[in-house]
Amino acid sequence: MKELQIKAAELLENGTVNLLIGFCEDLGKRLVPCFIETAAEANILVFNQECKNNLSVYLHKKEVKDAVKIGLVANVATLRSVLQLLSENQLWSLTLTYLTVNGAGELVVLRSAEELEAYVQANFPTCRPEDQEMLDKLNAMSREERWAFWKDQLSECVKCYACRAVCPMCYCTVCTTECNQPQWIKTSAQTSGNFEYHTMRAMHLAGRCINCGECGRICPAGIPVHLLTAQMNQEMEQEFGGKTGWSLKGGYAMNTFKPGDKENFIK
Amino acid sequence: MAETFEPKIVAFVCNWCTYAGADLAGTSRTKYETNVRIIRFPCTGRIDFMLLIKAFQNGADGIIVSGCHPNDCHYTSGNFHARRRWMVFKSLLDFMGFPSDRITFSWVSAAEGKKWAELVNETTDSIRSKGPFTDYRTLDYTLLTQLENEGIAD
């Protein structure tokens, strides 16, 4: 921890970084994101297993982008999403430095996209066991049971769109949810509109989701929405090969095609 | 229900192949089921998955999505992109427990008027045997009331 604070202060001091995004404790001892601009403030930094927020979502904000030279204290899931964003050409205006702690508890500083790529590939996160268990359980169900499951879950959704706000891959400035000519997503709180919204979200994230699980974690209604994108992730990996957030030249599976793609479902 | 059930089928077709194929079926005086409502698109690549959901929401019992055969696309690669999208969309619907067998995907070229007529007949038969599609509409309170009035849902 001390090591991280010293390193962060050093980076801010020598101008490598203008803005550092990391974690600190709030008055209630919760770990919350913090934005540090001077070396003197670096002593509030905290980083441990409980720091779960995916901070890469802030990299889309104008106020953050204006700082240009940005430091990010991040876990490997966050680094993976940064890599995916880089491959989608979203962070071209930024100079990024990453601070992370590896499995052995040592501080690692990554100064370039290539170093980031190598680190992520060496420490690639796998699907969380509890999610895998849930996916296997759902896939083993009959269609009717699955329908009942999602109908029950999605009836709880209040369309707060927190899952969209927290997602680093949801960076469109205009979203289909706000489009009202035609009204794609019904605004009233009923299951039919929720079904549309979550189908749309999963489709738009298919082949791009890096499976950080933030959407499911922050859902105030406790809906496991991350399972939809996790399932799509696995299917697309199986069908088209390639992993999301694996390399700088990852590309987007839905943006391309192969002449030999599966078509046994087409008459 | 007093009347026998006749399915409403919405067909999303591309302008260059399937629409022309359907046109050929018409000019050849081929008779086929009248349950289908055709919506013409510039290309299958233009068919957004949200349109399919919207059709079900508005009371469609079945959907046909059809376009040019691979390598025949007027815009070179629209149908290849569409094929991927449908594949992913279909597996998502399956995962959510949505009866994806109510959507028929097909390739019908401009010369295949006969195939078009057969496709419509087959789809209509299969949807007729499956009965009205109420799963999705029961998610919506206003539509549920409507279904109850029609005596379809209990």
- Confidence grade of residue B152 (pLDDT, cut at 50, 70, 90): low
ipTM: 0.90
For chain A, the average pLDDT equals 91
Amino acid at A216: G
At residue B144, the pLDDT reads 73
- d(Cα B37, Cα B141) in Å, to the nearest integer? 26
What mean pLDDT do residues A45-63 have? 91
The tens digit of pLDDT for each residue in B88-116 reads 999 999 999 999 999 999 999 999 999 99
Residue in chain A lying closest to B90 (CA) = A265
Among A69, A18, A77, A84, residue whose Cα is nearest residue A51: A77
- d(Cα A245, Cα B109) in Å, to the nearest integer? 39
Q: How far, rounded to the nearest angstrom, does the alpha carbon of residue A100 sit from its chain's CA centroid?
A: 16
What is the percent of chain A where pLDDT is above 90? 71
What mean pLDDT do residues A87-112 have? 91
Q: What is the CATH number of domain B9-148?
A: 3.40.50
Longest dimension (CA), chain A: 67
Chain A CB contacts of B50 below 8 Å: 176, 184, 196, 200
Q: Which of B95, B107, B140 sits opposite A190 (nearest CB)?
A: B140
Cβ-based interface (< 8 Å): residues of B facing A: 49-50, 53-54, 57, 70-71, 77, 80-81, 83-99, 104-107, 119, 135-137, 139-141, 143
The tens digit of pLDDT for each residue in A181-196 reads 888 888 887 888 899 9
What is the percent of chain B where pLDDT is above 90? 78
For chain B, the average pLDDT equals 90
Please report, for chain B, the start and end positions of each structural domain, with discontinuous segments joined by +: 9-148
- Confidence grade of residue B2 (pLDDT, cut at 50, 70, 90): low
The tens digit of pLDDT for each residue in A130-163 reads 999 999 999 999 999 999 999 999 999 999 999 9
Residue A118 predicted with pLDDT over 90: yes
CB B65 within 8 A of CB B47: yes
At residue B3, the pLDDT reads 72
- Confidence grade of residue B31 (pLDDT, cut at 50, 70, 90): very high
Q: Which residues contact A176 (CB under 8 A, 6 or more apart)?
A: A184, A185, A200, A204, B50
